[in-house]
Structure 1
Amino acid sequence: MITDPQGTVLALFLTFCRMGGCFMTLPGFSSARLPANIRLFVALAISLAVLPILWDTVYPKVSAPPATYVGLIASETLIGVMYGMIARIYVLGLQFAGAILTMSIGFSAPPGHDVIEDISETSVTSFISFCGLMLLFLMDFHHMVLHGLLDSYTATPVGAVLEPQKLLITLTDTLRASTYIMLRLASPFLIYGLLFNVAIGLINKLAPQVPVYFISTPFLVSGGVIMLYLAIAAMMRQFADGFAPVFNSF
């Protein structure tokens, strides 16, 4: 039996702010292809599930004055958004690697609609991004994010003073680590594109009368596609293995 209905609803809403803020930016759940009401119901269901675990942490804060409670809503939402952004930056890094890969192999086809987001992407970048996100879901990365959210109530309790500098350092460190991993994934294609274009440039100097661009482009694209076929499994494996160290380091 609920002895304090008002306090229970307020505690649930505080929990929903942190969980909902995370799902608002979490990869996959924040996709434009997923209806907003489904995201809302998922965040609400998870908030109801974890509220009994966090009851002793959240409920004592609901007796605060109205102005303080509004501040708690803002801070809890910001914490949830930050945890979701850590995962989102890492997945956006794969799109960055896909763009580098596409440019290096000369696959300059007109961009089309992205599978995940409501933006324009080339087919290769969209394919790589979708494969990486699907692999993360197969490895239950969302369970890792939820576990991190539950642990965040110990690291950053409800009502704790947020340090903007600490949040910015966390996001910049995530961006640095993600960029390093994605450049490592795209480095074989960067080297391939560089060596191929240098070789074609030398051939053009030796035989200026040959239309090098029209002759070299099919070989550049076909070689890049063959490399992608041979390397896609290792790329996706390294991408999935790199998520846990990046996310758990913060």
Structure 2
Amino acid sequence: MEPWATADQVWQGALIFGRIGAVMLMLPGVGESYVPPRIRLSLALLISLVLWPVVAGALPALPSTLGGMAGWIIREVLVGLAIGAILRAFMTALSTAGETVSLQTALSFAQTANPLQAQPGTTISAFLMLLGTTLIFATNTHHLFLAGLVGSYDLIAPARPLIAGDFVSLAVGTVNDAFLLGIQLAAPVLVFGLIFNLASGLVARVMPQFQVFFAAAPLSIILGLSVFALSLGVVGTVFIDRYRAVANVFVGGAGG
């Protein structure tokens, strides 16, 4: 080992790879099930080698026991999984918005395979999640992920005690914000659905003989999708701005 790397260098590389590899398993776009595991591992190894000179000073020394080594590795893997889970949890805002729009447009029965959730979902929800992932890479938001990985070693330094309560608070707040944002993104369609249903009920009361359902169902789909299409640009802009704010939580550790 000595001609190539010292024991301390191998230990530092293993610690960095433990955190980075765990994050790569959860990141949107990179950690999906359709991405080959070799690609993810290769990317994690490459990023670990790049970050090694930057964060090596924040890493603990090589423990003298095997149990100590295993404990540090498990700790770094758990930290990486927590960071990746928080970044992925915010993507549920688009899923919530898609499900809400589908309910309002009577398209909730139209199920399709959602590649980002590895389970069936509504077509609009799958479309929005694919749109969000595309926007992350199109707007270079994934660069914040790399900066956040460096900042995480200041925000969650390996030498400091791991405070699980902060992770829980951040995770709960992220899920809460994601659900609230999902409802806000679907607000134009929700307002349309409220007005349309009120108008349909009024027509049914004024003209009892008129078959409101047969006329309202296709109009609800056509007009609802039209409102959704018109608000799609705002939906993408608001989501990517809020997502960048979530990613900046970890980036801020590098500047603080």
TM over 0.5: yes
User: Could you say which residue in structure 1 is the equivalent of 2:223?
Assistant: 223
Aligned to 2:34: 33
Structure 1 counterpart of 2:116: 116
Matched residue pairs, number?
249
More deviation, 204-213/95-104 = 204-213
**Which runs of 5 or more residues in structure 2 are unaligned?**
251-256
Confirm or deny: 8 A CA contact 2:19 2:77 kept in the other structure: yes
Deviation at 1:81, TM superposition (A): 1.3
In structure 1, list runs of 5 or more residues that go unmatched: none
Q: Is the 8 A contact 1:72 1:159 kept in 2?
A: no
Contact 1:27 1:133 in 2 (8 A): yes
* Structure 1 Cα separation of the partners of residues 115 and 249 of structure 2: 30
2:234 alignment counterpart: 234
> More helix by proportion, 1 or 2?
1
Q: Secondary structure at the match of 2:161?
A: coil
Shift of 1:4: 4.7
Q: 1:166 to 1:64 in 2, by over 3 A?
A: farther
Q: Over residues 122-159 of structure 1, what are the superposed CA-to-partner deviations in whole Å (9 max), with x where a residue is unaligned?
A: 22221111111101111222221221121111122114
Please tell me whether residue 189 in structure 1 is matched to residue 217 in structure 2: no
1:248 is matched with which residue?
Answer: 248
SS at match of 2:231: helix
Question: Which one-letter code corresponds to 1:245 in the other structure?
Answer: A
Deviation, structure 1 residue 17: 0.9
Amino acid at match of 2:81: V
| Amino acid of the structure 2 residue aligned with 1:42 | L
Quick one: structure 1 residues 66 and 159, their matched pair in 2 at CA, closer, same or farther if it must change by over 3 Å?
farther
Q: Deviations over 1:194-233 (max 9, x none)?
A: 2211221222233333332222110000001111221111
Determine the structure 2 residue equivalent to 1:6. 7
Contact 1:22 1:81 in 2 (8 A): yes
Query: What is the aligned partner in structure 2 of residue 179 from structure 1?
Result: 179
Native 8 Å contact 2:8 2:61 kept in 1:
no
Asked if structure 2 preserves the Cα contact closer than 8 Å seen for 1:178 and 1:246, the reply is no
Q: 1:185 to 1:64 in 2, by over 3 A?
A: farther
Distance 1:140 1:23 in 2: 17
Q: For the aligned residues, what is the CA RMSD?
A: 1.9
Cα 1:108–1:173 change in 2 (3 A) is closer
Aligned twin of 2:53: 52
**Equivalent in the alignment of 1:91:** 91
TM-score, with length taken from structure 1: 0.92
Where does residue 161 of structure 1 map in the other structure? 161
* Deviation by residue 1:20-76 (Cα, 9 ceiling, x = unmatched): 111111111111211122111111111111112222222x42234322221111211
Distance 1:238 1:3 in 2: 49
The one-letter code of the counterpart of 1:174 is T
Equivalent residue number for residue 16 of structure 1? 17
